[in-house]
Every structure is written in C-alpha cells, then in structure tokens.
Amino acid sequence: MQSVACLVLAAQGHIDFGTFLFANVGEDSEDPRTLTYLHDYALPYAAAHGLHLEELHRIRRDGSTETLWGRLTKEGSRSLPIPVRMSNGAPGTRSCTADFKIKVIGKWLKQHGASSETPATVGIGISLDEIQRANSRRCEPYEQITYPLLELGLRRTDCHRIIQTAGLPVPPKSACFFCPYHRPEAWRELRRSAPDLFAKSCQLEELLNERRAMLGKDPVYLTRYAKPLDRAIPDGWDTLPFDEWDETALCDSGRCFT
C-alpha cells in the first residue's frame, strides 16, 4: 500500500521520483494477487502519468531467471533462505530479501550509473506508523535512502485514502504466498481463498523437513506454533488464537512490500 501511495504522490507532483522498481521474486513465489495488481493497475497507472515502473527479476550468469521457490525446491538443495520458525517459535535467519530484492534492485541501480561516488536517491515507502523499520534499514554505498512518506508525515491510513482518491483499488500486502512472516489470519485467509497455494505451502514445509531429517536437524515450520502448517491452521476455524504484535515478524528492509 505504501509504495503504491508513493506512485500516486509522484504522479500528482508531491514527491520527485520518476522511476519505480518492483523486484519480483518469482511468478511461482509472489502472491498472485500482487502480480495481478501490478499488471492490471500499477503499470497502467504509471504509464498514464509518465512514470517508469519496472519489474525486475533475479538473473543468473547464464541468463536464466532464478526464483525463490525454485531455490527452495531444487533437488539436492540445502538452502534455507526464508525465515522459517524454529522449534521454539523464533524466526531463523533469512537471505531471501537480500538476494531477491535488495541485490536485484542494487544491480539495476549500478547498471544505471549508481556508485559510491554518485549514489542513487532511493525512496522507500515506510509510513509514520512503521518508523521503527526505517531506523534499522542499512544503506548500501551506491544509494542514499530517503523516506518520502515519513517526510510528509503520512500514516498507513493516509496511504489508503491517497490510493482510493486517485481512483485505484487498494492493493493487497505484497509477500511470497509461503512467507513465514504471515500472521495466522493471513494463513487462514490463504487456506480459505486459495487452497491450492495453502496446499503448496504445506508441501514446501514437508519438503524442507524431509531434508532436515536426513541431515539430522530439528524440524522447522512456517508458523510459530511449532507444528505442521496444516495442523497449525486447521480447516474451518472461525476464530484464531490471539495474535499479538510480533516485532520479529517484520521485514525491515522495506523492499518486500509494494
């Protein structure tokens, strides 16, 4: 929502950004609703207002595209780049944001002239109610980070209003459909509205644990309930356990959500 609000603000002349970048971690990885919004609304809106919105992918040296799902499910792979939950519920380390978002965007910036001598001005859509994410954001040598929504004093509710006033539908939150940072209600909605994607998430969890068992390692989970996803989010729940705000379950880069 925040990044789409920035797109609208740029179209209206309130912020000075002419290029917007979306790093797609994979057609098989991103939530399909995000990709639908990108192609049906964001790209046409940008084009109609003279803005450049470019969709980026992680490209291997041989020219092929690597996706996050592909890395996770590749035969023989021991890579675990997503922040799976350990047996105690704590999130593990992750490299997905760095590899499939930050590095991909950084490569584009450097290809277009950004360097430590001439850094690019990079605006990230973090709103006032998420200011703690801005405080922990690392700045790369080839970029100067700015936060246009913070500078304008805008909150998430303001972004909602800005998008609707522009005649656009409010976008869904952007994330991989199998992201362990999903809150329980997001998993429940996925199971209800996209049972095929929920089933694929369960299969991914099973695959990861089959590999870990072969290596003599403890199981990992896609939720913090230390049980398989299908049991953690059972079918037909009308209510879910109280889901307190979890500061560990945040992507603080600002790059995951568009």
The pLDDT tens digits of the residues spanning 215-257 come to 999 999 999 999 999 999 998 755 444 444 344 444 545 555 4
89: left (phi over 0), alpha (psi -120 to 50) or beta: left
What stretches of 99-183 show up as alpha helix (H) in DSSP? Answer: 103-111, 131-135, 148-151, 156-165
Which of 87-96, 111-120, 178-187 has the least mean pLDDT? 87-96
- Asked whether residue 168 carries a pLDDT value surpassing 80, the answer given is yes
Distance CA 122, CA 2 (A): 15
Residues β-bridged to residue 176: 30
* Structure tokens belonging to residue 135: 């405080």
User: Which pLDDT value is given to residue 93?
Assistant: 87
Cα angle value 255/253/194 (rounded, 5°): 50
Superfamily grouping for domain 2-175: HUPs (3.40.50.620)
Which of 97-111, 121-135, 202-216, 227-241 has the least mean pLDDT? 227-241
Portion of the chain with pLDDT greater than 70, in percent: 90
Mean pLDDT, rounded, of the chain? 91
User: Which pLDDT value is given to residue 150?
Assistant: 96
User: Which pLDDT value is given to residue 257?
Assistant: 43
Closest CA to 177 of 103, 251, 69, 253: 69
User: Which pLDDT value is given to residue 244?
Assistant: 43
